[in-house]
């Protein structure tokens, strides 16, 4: 089975029913890869952080199809997408569509709307109450996310890896144990990230990222993110692909290998 993204039918409008299901991911992915190859890695990373894109036919003057693209981004990232950034992204999108009689007329951004739980007041109060924290900022606004040991987790996969790490922590002597920081706010040059798990052990710091199905097509962005961690002094970064894990034993093996390689 091919991992190549399907391409839209260019004989139809980009927002035609046949195209609408694939065009956003195709346009974002193609534009990000083009920007990366042109040396504009900042734009490539910003495009990779976009949740999705809303693409609508804007006008049909002069035999051209003019489109408006709305980039939907996480609320905490929204301020990053200023006018200058959007203009650079628009240039790359126009290059992607060059020769197709389809034109990107405008690229704007809007924050994604968090899922609303019936206890939304508690969600907001917990996220913005007197106990301010840089831990798990995004999951705090999501209903029914896992919580354990006063830590917030994005999903059960992160929690499973955390539990294995905690077992390893408890099995080690007090003088040579590990530190575990789930979803801690971390500033690297030009970016604020929340690595899934930051681990300290024997004087070294490492990062574990848990990749779910939503990471498909994000390999280039993930490599750029990993490189930023390494450039900031993180010794080792590893990724656990949850689609390739079928048992707890495999998670345990991954964690043990990670700790070994971190101190090698």
Residue 55 contacts residue 12 (beta carbons within 8 Å): no
Residue 20 CA to residue 6 CA, distance in Å, equals 12
Task: Find, among 168, 222, 228, the residue nearest to 200 by Cα.
Answer: 168
Q: Which residues contact 19 (CB under 8 A, 6 or more apart)?
A: 8, 9, 12, 13
Q: What is the pLDDT of residue 111?
A: 92
Tens of pLDDT, residue by residue, the chain (264 residues): 446 778 899 999 999 999 888 999 999 999 999 999 999 988 998 998 898 999 999 887 777 789 999 999 988 788 889 999 999 999 999 999 998 889 999 999 999 887 766 777 766 666 555 454 667 777 776 767 888 888 889 889 999 999 999 999 999 998 899 999 999 988 888 788 889 999 999 999 999 999 877 656 667 777 888 999 999 999 999 999 988 888 999 999 999 999 999 998
Q: Which domains does the chain have, with CATH numbers?
A: 17-111 (3.30.300), 135-262 (3.40.1350)
Residue 242 CA to residue 246 CA, distance in Å, equals 8
Q: What is the pLDDT of residue 125?
A: 65
The model's pTM: 0.57
- Stated length of the chain: 264
Residue 43 contacts residue 92 (beta carbons within 8 Å): yes
Report phi then psi at 151, rounded to 5. Answer: -105, 145
Question: Can you tell me whether residue 133 is helix, strand or coil?
Answer: coil
Residue 87 contacts residue 44 (beta carbons within 8 Å): no
Q: What is the pLDDT of residue 243?
A: 85
DSSP string, 173-216: -GGG-EEEEETB-EEETTEEE--SEEEEETTEEEEEEEE-GGGT
Residue 174 CA to residue 37 CA, distance in Å, equals 48
Q: What is the pLDDT of residue 127?
A: 57
Q: Which residues contact 57 (CB under 8 A, 6 or more apart)?
A: 13, 14, 15, 65, 66, 67
Question: Can you tell me whether residue 146 is helix, strand or coil?
Answer: coil
Residue 50 CA to residue 25 CA, distance in Å, equals 10
């Amino acid at each position: 089975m091919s991992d190549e993204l399907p391409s839209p039918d260019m004989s139809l409008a980009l927002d035609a029913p046949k195209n609408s299901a694939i065009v956003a991911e195709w346009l974002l992915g193609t534009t990000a890869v083009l920007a990366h190859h042109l040396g504009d890695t900042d734009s490539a990373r910003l495009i990779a952080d976009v949740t999705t894109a809303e693409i609508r036919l804007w006008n049909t003057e002069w035999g051209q199809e003019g489109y408006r693209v709305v980039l939907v981004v996480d609320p905490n990232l929204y301020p990053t997408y200023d006018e200058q950034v959007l203009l650079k992204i628009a240039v790359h999108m126009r290059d992607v569509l060059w020769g197709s009689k389809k034109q990107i007329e405008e690229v704007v951004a809007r924050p994604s709307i968090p899922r609303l739980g019936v206890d939304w007041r508690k969600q907001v109060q917990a996220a913005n109450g007197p106990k301010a924290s840089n831990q798990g900022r995004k999951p705090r606004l999501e209903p029914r996310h896992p919580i354990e040991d006063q830590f917030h987790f994005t999903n059960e996969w992160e929690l499973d890896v955390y539990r294995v790490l905690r077992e390893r922590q408890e099995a080690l002597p007090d003088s040579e144990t590990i530190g575990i920081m789930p979803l801690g706010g971390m500033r690297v040059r030009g970016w604020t990230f929340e690595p899934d798990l930051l681990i300290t052990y024997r004087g070294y710091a490492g990062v574990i990222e848990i990749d779910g199905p939503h990471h498909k097509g994000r390999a280039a962005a993930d490599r750029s993110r990993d490189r930023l961690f390494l450039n900031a002094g993180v010794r080792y970064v590893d990724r656990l692909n949850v689609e390739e894990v079928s048992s707890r034993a495999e998670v345990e093996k991954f964690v043990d290998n990670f700790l070994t390689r971190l101190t090698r």
